[in-house]
Structure 1
Amino acid sequence: MTSEHRSSKPVDILLVEDNPGDVRLTKEALNDGQIANTLHVVKDGVDALDFLFQRNDYADAPRPDLVLLDLNLPRKNGDEVLGELHEDPDLRFIPVIVLTSSEAEMDIVKSYKLCANGYLTKPVDPNEFIDMILELERFWLSIVRLPTDTDPD
């Protein structure tokens, strides 16, 4: 993703989160951020995969530029979502940041083994949570260069 692409349209972010408080804080932080974005929210792993694979109710969903994924989700957990994304040759290029309350080393290791691009533990303090989302936005959407063409051949 080039800076020209970023300025021409809002960045699509998929937030996979079942906690309404964390959804509200993420929305607040991204609204205060410097990158124009459209935040799409789903509450479980099944809906996340439907969104990403553009199936069922999400047939017209945009391909997100970034996924923020909780691990502890109903119906399908974050590990299962990561596993299916990693196996898909097109979707594996979408950066996925695990955003969870777990500080367990086994969760961190498993997420990276499943090709998560980052692992962040949610701060308890709402202001720290908002600051973390703003830093995440700045890094992943301003500094990091993301591919726009996943099939350069």
Structure 2
Amino acid sequence: MPAMSATDAERESLGELMKQTVPWVRTTGVEFVEVAAGRVVATLPDHPDQRNHVGGPHAAMIFGLGETASGAVVLAAFGHCLDRATPLVARAEVEYRKLALGPLRAEAVLGRPAEEVVAELDAGERPEFPVPVIVGNADGVTTAELTVVWTLRPNR
């Protein structure tokens, strides 16, 4: 069954939760423009004080936007499990494809069915799952691709 899009209130709620729990999100200006259980789109405005030596967003900002979008997917898909598991990044890989200039948009998609991940958690395992992310500029050109591998660490 495909994920339903979130209402404006749900998107705003996820964005507020991310800003409350991850201070970096609130300080950088990341906004969440689309939210579903398996997909999130986040944006980052162009701030001169966040640029690199060639005038684009610093690589750390690009990675941070992608990782933040991936975390929002995890929260949207597994928020109902937070009482029994803590989501953590296990590892990440980023490929910078093209010079990024201006505002950025990151689209993160859950890389495994949520039901499989929850079944592993229910079985007492510590599941891992990838969240692929595509970061692009205002013209829709892909500037970076990330894969962030998350785990749900069972709370003890």
Q: TM-score range by the shorter chain?
A: under 0.3
Q: Could you say which structure has the higher strand fraction? A: 2
TM-score normalised by length of structure 1: 0.24
Q: Could you say which structure has the higher helix fraction? A: 1
TM-score normalised by length of structure 2: 0.24
